[in-house]
């Protein structure tokens, strides 16, 4: 986040900026900063994500760049700073997210800017699909972004105020002044109107030696230095000029720094203003100031070769001792998440804070067994990870043991990429508690999401409501949230969204399970295809569908729009009903369960088609009666019966085909037997 208040301070001194018509250039983009900026304009932050709308926003942004001949290179943050230089800052930010997420849930307002759980994944997936070059650093990205921009002599696009300090030869284009939605096509070459910032302009306006700019950032307080929290903080206002701009903390700090020629002189003078510090305390403050200065020193770019030759940068010596070499490419490609680096380097994992009421348990609890399998693959038996999660409104540090059981105990991180696909698939589906045969009738893109849904049905507390399950599967089956929203006439922007806290909590659990399942799938080298989130799940759509189903409003026109979609929905419902029935049996062990044999995973015996029809019809008609004769449930009953018949007939045809094939093979292999059978047939006639 950089220097607090610096961007506002520079905006107040508008003559520092230069007006630009930006086109026909390379552009280094701060990816993590950009996704926050693209998500803000009117997109829902409290119902679990407007991912399809985010995807459309990203597409428009990249088209604007392409129209102007701008070549983007997107750089994402990697693992957290394992040196703990920013630990205090990271903890304070996480506490702030917990407070904002609760306030958003209570108020039903999206003004608290809590980024939905899959925003960064949708951002990466969309850029890759559009052919944009994306790279992830092994650690934080600021220095690498500045180093690459310096070597390529091109500007940086970001709103992070640290980039006002880095010595960028081609300057900074602040996103807030980058009018990409107002591309000018009137001239021969289209361009984006924007403002460009140079450190030289800042130093010229404020009469500061360029070499003192990092000292200014450190003394002002950045992510590494917190001088304002000292027992006797320095009153910078005393150095404000008596005329000119209104007095401010940063204006006073600049007034203090103007007479000095070197950073050392300025730091010595600043330490002298801090009162009677003990020698130990003085050394501690001086050390933190020097660490703050080091953050603005540019190393050689590590990503230049990757963007040109697809060669991932080498690990540091410390990382090489912990991470196998095969991880370099998938990490740099952002195929693996930065959590992998955090777990391996510092045995920590900061979990996502979703919009949820403080009285609800953490939505991340449901997916903990999946993360334990992930930790087992990374750390082996005996490993332990400190998870940073919430309890109420408090930040909690929870020690979670790694789990190594069965086949996963036989796999090692060093050779995980060389393991057989069958073994990797078995570990993934074993963690989710689903068999491969159970998913075989589904499109490949839906197998992981449906496996996660089955896991969620068994693990979530409280158990998910059936209406919510129907709404979720309806959303999954369509694969085009924007089209369905248009069909249902769901507005893109709502002034006062209605938030059902129970639905929100349950969907947060489902998203948490899917997110950790995707991470496990990624580490296992994707035995199942990675689902395209923007095509798969839209929080606002599922909330609206659940609300309409609960209100008894029909959704027939949505299902009728596509026969294949309807069949897919009922096939998914048929699969998850197995796990719903198991959940009911666990919840009420004393009550007799009348589970249809067609839904029993342990049954190897096929029932007569009439029995299957009766059982499936009873399953849905019972639900229909309990809902007051809901037309949707009746439609489910009849359609489910048809689906069962289709499946039964398909199997019978398959059995008959296999029998005929076997008979033909026998005849070919034993022609004498074939002739005897033919003679026997003529004798019988």
Q: How confident is the model at residue 485 (pLDDT cuts 50, 70, 90)?
A: confident
Residue 234: band (very low, low, confident or very high) from pLDDT cuts 50, 70, 90: confident
Q: Are strands 348-350 and 384-391 parallel, antiparallel or unpaired?
A: parallel
Q: Average pLDDT in the 544-561 region?
A: 74
- Predicted local distance difference test score (pLDDT) of residue 620: 41
pLDDT of residue 241: 80
Q: Where are any strands of DSSP class E within 275-425? A: 348-350, 384-391, 394-401
Q: Angle formed by the axes of helices 51-67 and 119-129, to 10°?
A: 40
- The phi and psi torsions of 112 (rounded to 5 degrees) equal -90, 0
Please tell me the least confidently modeled range out of 367-371, 410-414, 553-557, 600-604: 600-604
Residue with tokens 């939505």, as numbered in its chain: 363
Please state, in angstroms and rounded to a whole number, the distance separating the CA atoms of residues 167 and 149. 10
Q: Which residue has the higher pLDDT, 237 or 366?
A: 366
| Percent of the chain whose predicted confidence (pLDDT) is above 70 | 79
Distance CA 408, CA 406 (A): 6
**Residue 642 included in any domain:** no
DSSP 8-class letter at 389: E
pLDDT band for position 228 (50/70/90)? low
Q: What is the pLDDT of residue 225?
A: 64
pLDDT of residue 656: 45
Out of 76-80, 463-467, 510-514, the most confident range is 510-514
When pLDDT is averaged across residues 125-139 and rounded to a whole number, the result is 97
Confidence of residue 195 (pLDDT cuts 50, 70, 90): very high
Higher-confidence position of 126 and 318: 126
Whether the CB-CB separation of 492 and 485 falls below 8 Å is answered with yes
Calculate the CA 299 to chain-centre distance: 29
**182 token code pair:** 């107002």
Q: Where among 179, 206, 233 does a domain terminate? A: 206
- Which residue, of 550, 575, 594, is where some domain finishes? 550
Q: Which of 77-86, 349-358, 510-519, 537-546 has the lowest mean pLDDT?
A: 77-86
- The per-residue pLDDT for 359 is 96
pLDDT range class, residue 601, cuts 50, 70, 90: very low
Per-residue pLDDT of 68-99, as tens digits, reads: 999 999 999 998 876 666 677 788 889 999 99
The more confident residue out of 600 and 305 is 305
pLDDT of 453 higher than 90 = yes
Higher pLDDT, 140 or 370: 370
Domain that holds residue 497: 347-550
Is residue 486 in some structural domain?
yes
**pLDDT higher than threshold 70 for residue 618:** no
80 found inside a domain:
yes
Tell me what pLDDT residue 599 has: 30
What's residue 544's pLDDT?
A: 86
Lowest mean pLDDT among 460-469, 518-527, 543-552, 581-590: 581-590
Min mean pLDDT across 159-163, 233-237, 328-332 is at 233-237
Cβ density class 287-312: b for 16+ within 10 Å, e for less: ebbeebbebbebeebbbbebbeeeeb
- Distance, CA of 448 to CA of 458 (rounded, Å): 16
pLDDT for residue 595 = 34
* Phi, psi (deg, nearest 5) at residue 482: -65, -40
- The residues near 610 (Cβ < 8 Å, ≥ 6 apart) are none
Q: What is the mean pLDDT of residues 534-557?
A: 83
pLDDT digits (tens, 9 = 90+) for 145-156: 999 999 999 999
Let me know if residue 200 belongs to a domain.
yes
User: What is the rounded distance in angstroms from the CA atom of residue 658 to the CA atom of residue 516?
Assistant: 40
Q: Which residue has the higher pLDDT, 645 or 499?
A: 499
Name the strands in the sheet holding 348-350, side by side, starting at the edge strand that comes first in the sequence.
Answer: 348-350, 384-391, 394-401
Query: In this predicted structure, which of 1-15, 328-342, 544-558, 648-662 has the lowest mean pLDDT?
Result: 648-662
| More confident call, 39 vs 660 | 39
In a domain, 326, yes or no: no
| pLDDT (0 to 100) of residue 231 | 55
pLDDT for residue 526? 97
Q: How far apart are alpha carbons 311 and 477 in whole angstroms?
A: 39
DSSP 212-275: GHHHHHHHH--SS--GGGSSS---GGGGS-SSSSPP-HHHHHHHHHTT-SSHHHHHHHHHHTT-
pLDDT over 50 (residue 627): no
Least confident of 124-138, 307-321, 564-578: 564-578
Question: Is the torsion defined by CA of 527, 54, 472, 354 positive or negative?
Answer: positive
Which of the four pLDDT bands, split at 50, 70 and 90, describes residue 289?
Answer: confident
Residues 472 and 542 sit within 8 Å (Cβ to Cβ):
yes
Residue 596 lies in a domain: no
| 483 pLDDT higher than 90 | no
Question: What is the pLDDT averaged over residues 327-342?
Answer: 96
Check residue 80 and give its pLDDT.
81
Taking 3-state DSSP, the helix, strand and coil percentages for the chain, each rounded to the nearest 5, stand at: 60, 10, 35
Q: Which residues partner with 134 through β-bridges?
A: 74
What pLDDT is attached to residue 655?
44
Residue 79 lies in a domain: yes
Query: For residues 422 and 434, is the Cβ–Cβ distance under 8 A?
Result: no
CATH number of 121's domain: 3.40.50.1010
This prediction has a pTM of 0.84
CA 159, CA 176: separation in Å to the nearest integer? 7
HSE (side-chain half, CA atoms, 13 Å) at 549: 22
pLDDT > 90: percent of the chain? 59
Return all residues near 475 (Cβ < 8 A) that are at least 6 apart: 481, 484, 537, 538, 541, 542, 545
- Max Cα–Cα distance, the chain, nearest Å: 123
- Cβ atoms of 48 and 508 closer than 8 Å: yes
pLDDT at 631 over 90: no
- Domain contains 589: no
Bond preceding residue 462 cis, omega within 30 of 0: yes
Structure-token pair, residue 108: 């039903």
Per-residue model confidence (pLDDT) at position 626: 42
Q: How many domains does the chain have?
A: 2
Does residue 671 have a pLDDT over 60?
A: no
Average pLDDT, the chain: 83
Per-residue pLDDT tens digits for 210-223? 999 999 999 988 66
| CA within 13 Å, CB half, 535 | 9
Residue 397's nearest CA partner among 347, 434, 341 is: 347
Look at 662 and 408; give whichever has higher pLDDT.
408
Q: Which helix (H) or strand (E) holds 360?
A: none
Average pLDDT over residues 353-362: 95
Question: 3-class DSSP state for residue 207?
Answer: coil
Give which of 417, 416, 400, 404 is closest to 347, Cα–Cα. 400
Per-residue confidence at 281, pLDDT binned at 50, 70, 90? confident
Task: Answer for the pair 115, 510: CB distance below 8 angstroms, yes or no.
Answer: no
pLDDT at 637 over 60: no
Give yes or no for a contact between 323 and 315, defined as CB atoms under 8 angstroms apart.
Answer: yes
Between strands 172-173 and 156-157, the pairing is parallel
Q: Cα separation of 39 and 32, whole Å?
A: 11
Mean pLDDT of 598-614: 36
Domain boundary residue, one of 510, 531, 550 = 550
Query: Quick one: pLDDT at residue 112?
Result: 81
The model's pLDDT over 101-126, given as tens digits with 9 standing for 90+, comes to 999 999 887 778 899 999 999 999 99
Answer for the pair 173, 37: CB distance below 8 angstroms, yes or no.
Answer: no
């Amino acid at each position: 986040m950089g220097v607090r208040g610096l961007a506002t301070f520079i905006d107040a001194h508008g003559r520092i900026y230069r007006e630009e018509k930006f086109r026909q250039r390379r552009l280094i983009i701060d990816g993590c900063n950009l996704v926050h900026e693209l998500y803000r304009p009117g997109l829902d932050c409290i119902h679990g994500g407007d991912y399809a709308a985010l995807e459309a926003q990203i597409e428009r942004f990249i088209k604007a760049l392409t129209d102007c001949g701008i070549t983007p290179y997107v750089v994402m943050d990697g693992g957290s700073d394992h040196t703990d230089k920013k630990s205090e800052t990271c903890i304070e930010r996480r506490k702030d997210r917990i407070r904002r997420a609760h306030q958003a849930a209570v108020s039903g307002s999206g003004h608290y800017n809590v980024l939905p759980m899959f925003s960064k994944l949708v951002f990466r997936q969309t850029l890759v699909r559009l052919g944009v070059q994306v790279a992830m650093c092994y650690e934080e990205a600021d220095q690498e972004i500045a180093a690459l921009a310096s070597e390529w002599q091109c500007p940086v696009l970001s709103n992070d105020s640290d980039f006002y300090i880095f010595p960028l030869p081609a300057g900074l284009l602040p996103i807030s002044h980058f009018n990409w939605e107002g591309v000018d096509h009137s001239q021969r070459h289209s361009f984006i109107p924007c403002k460009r910032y140079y450190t030289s302009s800042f130093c010229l306006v404020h009469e500061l030696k360029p070499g003192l700019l990092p000292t200014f950032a450190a003394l002002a307080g950045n992510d590494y230095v917190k001088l304002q929290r000292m027992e006797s903080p320095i009153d910078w206002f005393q150095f404000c000029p008596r005329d000119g701009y209104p007095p401010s903390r940063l204006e006073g700090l600049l007034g203090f720094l103007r007479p000095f020629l070197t950073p050392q002189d300025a730091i010595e003078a600043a330490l002298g203003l801090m009162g009677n510090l003990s020698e130990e305390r003085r050394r501690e403050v001086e050390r933190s100031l020097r660490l703050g200065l080091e953050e603005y020193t540019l190393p050689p770019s590590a990503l230049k070769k990757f963007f040109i030759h697809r060669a991932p940068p080498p690990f540091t010596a410390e990382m090489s001792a912990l991470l196998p070499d095969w991880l370099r490419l998938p990490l740099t490609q952002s195929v693996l998440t930065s959590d992998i680096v955090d777990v391996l380097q510092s045995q920590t994992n900061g979990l996502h804070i979703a919009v949820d009421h403080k009285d609800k348990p953490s939505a991340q609890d449901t997916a903990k067994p999946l993360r334990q399998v992930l930790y087992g693959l990374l750390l082996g038996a005996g490993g332990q990870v400190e998870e940073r999660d919430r309890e109420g409104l408090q930040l909690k540090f929870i020690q979670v043991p790694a789990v190594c059981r069965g086949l996963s105990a036989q796999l090692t991180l060093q050779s995980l990429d060389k393991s057989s696909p069958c073994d990797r698939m078995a570990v993934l589906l074993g963690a989710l508690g689903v068999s491969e045969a159970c998913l075989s009738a589904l499109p490949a893109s839906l197998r992981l999401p449906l496996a996660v849904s089955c896991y969620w049905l068994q693990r979530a507390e409280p158990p998910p409501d059936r209406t919510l399950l129907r709404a979720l599967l309806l959303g999954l089956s369509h694969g085009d949230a924007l089209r369905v929203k248009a069909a249902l006439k769901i507005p893109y922007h709502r002034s006062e969204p209605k938030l059902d806290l129970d639905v929100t909590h349950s969907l947060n659990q489902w998203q948490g399970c899917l997110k950790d399942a995707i991470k496990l799938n990624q580490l296992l080298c994707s035995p199942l295809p990675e689902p395209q989130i923007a095509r798969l799940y839209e929080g606002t759509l599922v909330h609206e569908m659940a609300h309409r189903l609960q209100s008894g409003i029909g959704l027939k026109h949505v299902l009728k729009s596509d026969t294949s979609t309807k069949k897919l929905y009922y096939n998914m419902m048929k699969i998850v009903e197995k796990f719903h029935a198991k959940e009911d049996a666990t919840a009420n062990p004393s009550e007799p369960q009348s589970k249809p044999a067609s839904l029993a995973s342990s049954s190897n015996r096929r029932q007569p088609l009439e029995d299957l029809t009766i059982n499936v019809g009873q399953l849905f008609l019972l639900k229909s009666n309990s809902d007051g004769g809901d037309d949707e449930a009746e439609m489910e009953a009849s359609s489910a019966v048809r689906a069962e018949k289709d499946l039964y007939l398909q199997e019978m045809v398959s059995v008959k085909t296999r029998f005929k094939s076997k008979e033909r093979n026998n005849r070919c292999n034993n022609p004498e037997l074939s002739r005897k059978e033919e003679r026997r047939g003529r004798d019988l006639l």
